Every structure is written in structure tokens, then in C-alpha cells.
Homo-oligomer: A and B are copies of this chain.
Amino acid sequence: MSHVPPPPPPEPSPELLRRAAAVRRHARALAQRDDGERRAAVNAMADALEHAAESILAANRADLEAAAAEGLAPALVARLKLDAGKLAGAIAGVRQVAALDDPLGRRQLHTELDAHLVLERITVPLGVLGVIFEARPDAVMQIASLAIRSGNGALLKGGREAARSCQAILAALKEGLAGSRVDPGCLELLTSREESLGLLRLDGLVDLIIPRGSNALVRYIQDHTRIPVLGHADGLCHLYVDAAADVDQAVRLAVDSKAQYPAACNAIETLLVHETIAPRFLPAAITALEAAGVELRGDPRACALGVPLPAAEADWDTEYSDLVLSVKVVADLEEALAHIARHGSRHTEAICTTDPAVAECFLASVDSAGVYWNCSTRFADGHRYGFGAEVGISTQTLPPRGPVGLEGLVTYRYLLRGEGHIAADYASGERQFRHRSLPLRRSDPSGSA
């Protein structure tokens, strides 16, 4: 997608409205399917992908040929490419999603308001997801399986460059669902740019937009929809090396946080170094980072200690997504915190120190989705957190925040069961509320809800 934001999205076409309403209707039926039925449906999707592997790989080859003819950027081609191994990995991922614990029907609250007036809060699907992603066809399989596992329908829009791959994958997914208790109509592929823009205007039909792509794409979506957006526009992460850091450890953390996978949103863009440790830490860090291929840009004090290039003011606000790192020497923890508050994107920040008091102050003060002590920022990931699969990483303040697993695709409903209870009796004082907590676990053989 272009980095120049396109004009405001058009009204959805009657055809898009019709298709979205159909997905919504099918999703309502899906919400009534039990754990076993949804699990079986996801496994059926995996089976169908296996059967269709040849046609999916052929479609992908056609996309790659078209991309070559159009001179697509190598990084995009790499993300577009599906080979047999990558496809097998994606199918294994679908089976992993099937194996995840059911996120639905969980009782989060259980209160007896009064005799025979009992309140429950139960997790339910969101409804319909709108998913917009660039290039990567493997994302279709991942998100579609997460959607069905959590009882949600999905409207999926892949990048134009992956059109043939996405179509082949979606055909297989629907064929899998056709043999299950879940209607294939729960998944719909949008193919035109007009449709993907119209999707942003489907409030009431779509409950959550999940963008997977460039910062510009995410920001455009956030600015042009009333539908909640799960995602992050920026990943501007910091590592702060405290005065009391173990220098060897700090060097290892800096290299891993920057260079282990520099295109990731959880890689660091700026290294903050306490002035008292800078003369010892920086020379070692520069050697190790340059050995890892990292270009370093420093403030004047960092440059005086060996950082080869000067940093411009814009560097502190730049997500390089590449082997580039800005370096700043700070007077103390306060200056580091102020720099992070001003320039960070509230994604993930880490401190390296052997001083527990300084570490706990950092952990309590930094207002990011992830705040780490003596470990790499690269751990900010749903798989690494043990969520089994990841919908995305959110840098918004409200939950869901940080790496989001299946729980980001569910909401809850309050169910209240009475025997003719009316509010007037409590307003008059004739009856009083008890508000007695009841067990959350469903050991009750009467099996409500």
C-alpha cells in the first residue's frame, strides 16, 4: 500500500453490505456451536488445506511470477512466497489453534443479587472480524482459524499481490468448513480495494478490524473507521542500560533486541545509556553491534565515546525496522524515563540493571504494554508469552493490550435470571440487594448456561 494516505473510504456498496450481512448471519449460528464443533471445524480446515496444497502452491507461484513482472520489492516477495515447508508450518499452526482452550462460555463473574436473582458474566464471540493484511498469504490461514475457533465470522482482505494465493487458500478453508458443523459462509474474501475501504464503514456489521501491515496502513484505518481497531501503528522500543548494569549482559541484550530480527515491531530503535557506565559499555556494545551489521547513530556524548554517525532529532522518533540503532547517553533514570515518555510508542521497553530498586522503579513508571527487566524486548510476542497464537500486538492503552491471543476475539454478556424481580421493590426499600459472590467454576449439576 502507498505511504500517501488515500482519501476517506467510500460508502460500502450494496453488494458488500449484502455479503457482510450474510457473514453476520452465519456468525450468529456459529456462536451457538459448542467447543467440540468449533475445534472439529478448524481441524477440517487444516485437512482441506493439506488436500489443496498443490493448487495453493501453484496459485502462489502465479502470484510470484506476476510480482516478478511488476518488480515487487524483495522484502515483499519474501513475505508473499509460500513453499511446501512454509505451507506445512502454517497448517500445523491451524491445528495448534484447534487445540487451544475454548475462549467462550467462561464465567467471569457470578453474583447472587438477591434470592433467586443471579447475575453471570459469560464470554461470547465478538461477532464478525474485518481483517486487512498486506502480502502474507499465511496470515489468512492463521486469522481464519483464530476466528472460527473463537466463534467469529470474518471478512478477509489480502493484498492485491497475493490475490491468487488468498483465493486458493480461502477455497480450501471453505471446503473444509463445508464438511463440518460450521457454515462456510462464516468466511468471505474481499478482493477489490473498494471493498476493503468499504469494510471500514461497516459499523454494526463488523465488530473489530484487525490490520496486519505497514504503519501507514494501520494509521489510515484507525483514522477512517468507527469500528475498534486491534493493532499498532508503531513499535518504537527502547533498552535502557543503567549505571548498575552487568556490561556483558547489557551488550547481549542490546544485540538480541536489535539484531535478532530487526524488522519486528518489538526490536529496539533506541539505546539509552547511563553516563557513568557509558565509557565501559559503549565501546563493547559498538564492537558487538557493528559485528552484527548494525549502523549506529549517536547523540554528541555517544559519538564522543565511539558511535560513528551523528543522530538527527528525527532519529529518536524513527522506527527503522532495519539494522539501524540510535544511541543516547543520559544523566540518570529520570532522563531515560522522560525520553521514553516523549518518544516511545508504549510498545515494549527494557532496563538492564543489577539494582532491584532501580529496576522496580522502571517497571512501575514506564507506561508501555510490556516493561522488562534484564531480558530482550524480542520476547513481546503471543507465542512466547504462552498464548499459543497471536491475533496481533496492541499498543492502545485500553485492554486488550500487548500481544493478544484468542481472548482478544471474545467479549462478554451479562446474563440475569430472576423470578419476576422488579426494580421498584429495591427502590422502595421493600427488598435489599445481597451481592453475594458465587463460585465461578461450573460444579453446579443444574448446569446453567
Residues of A at the B interface (CB closer than 8 Å) are 28, 31-32, 111, 113, 117, 119, 124, 126-127, 207-208, 222-223, 226, 228, 246, 249, 252-253, 255-256, 260-261, 341, 359-360, 363-365, 367-376, 378-380, 384-386, 396-399, 401-403, 411-424, 426-427, 433, 435, 449
A396 to B207, CA, bound (A): 9
Nearest-CB residue, chain B, relative to A207: B397
- On whether A413 and B371 interact (CB within 8 A), knowing A253-B420, A399-B399, the answer reads yes
Choose among B260, B368, B414, B416 the residue that contacts A427 (Cβ–Cβ < 8 A). B260
- Residue numbers in B under 8 Å from A253 (CB-CB): 420, 422
- On whether A417 and B375 interact (CB within 8 A), knowing A256-B424, A386-B433, A426-B384, the answer reads yes
5 contacts between A and B (CB under 8 A): A113-B379, A370-B414, A370-B416, A372-B416, A373-B416
State whether A127 touches B376 (Cβ < 8 A): no
List 3 A-B pairs, minimum CB-CB distance, nearest first.
A375-B418, A378-B423, A386-B435
A117 to B385, CA, bound (A): 11
Nearest-CB residue, chain B, relative to A426: B384
State whether B256 touches A423 (Cβ < 8 A): yes
- On whether A399 and B411 interact (CB within 8 A), knowing A260-B423, A384-B433, the answer reads yes
Choose among B364, B385, B398, B417 the residue that contacts A208 (Cβ–Cβ < 8 A). B398
Min C-beta distance of A128 to chain B, whole Å: 10
- Residue numbers in B under 8 Å from A256 (CB-CB): 422-424
Choose among B28, B113, B363, B412 the residue that contacts A384 (Cβ–Cβ < 8 A). B113
State whether B385 touches A119 (Cβ < 8 A): yes
State whether A113 touches B412 (Cβ < 8 A): no
A402 to B120, CA, bound (A): 12
A140 to B127, CA, bound (A): 36
User: Which of A28, A368, A401, A422 is packed against the most chain B CB atoms within 10 Å?
Assistant: A422
Min C-beta distance of A408 to chain B, whole Å: 9
State whether A371 touches B427 (Cβ < 8 A): no
- Residue numbers in B under 8 Å from A260 (CB-CB): 422-424, 427
State whether B423 touches A384 (Cβ < 8 A): yes
Nearest-CB residue, chain B, relative to A416: B372
Min C-beta distance of A379 to chain B, whole Å: 6
Min C-beta distance of A332 to chain B, whole Å: 17
Min C-beta distance of A187 to chain B, whole Å: 19
State whether B418 touches A373 (Cβ < 8 A): yes
State whether B411 touches A113 (Cβ < 8 A): no
Nearest-CB residue, chain B, relative to A401: B411
- Residue numbers in B under 8 Å from A418 (CB-CB): 372-375, 379
- On whether A421 and B113 interact (CB within 8 A), knowing A370-B413, A397-B127, the answer reads no
- On whether A371 and B414 interact (CB within 8 A), knowing A376-B422, A423-B384, the answer reads yes
State whether A363 touches B32 (Cβ < 8 A): no
- On whether A249 and B379 interact (CB within 8 A), knowing A386-B111, A426-B384, the answer reads no
State whether B420 touches A386 (Cβ < 8 A): no
State whether A414 touches B433 (Cβ < 8 A): no
Nearest-CB residue, chain B, relative to A219: B226
User: Which of A246, A423, A435 is packed against the most chain B CB atoms within 10 Å?
Assistant: A423
- On whether A124 and B416 interact (CB within 8 A), knowing A222-B226, A260-B424, the answer reads no
State whether A374 touches B421 (Cβ < 8 A): yes
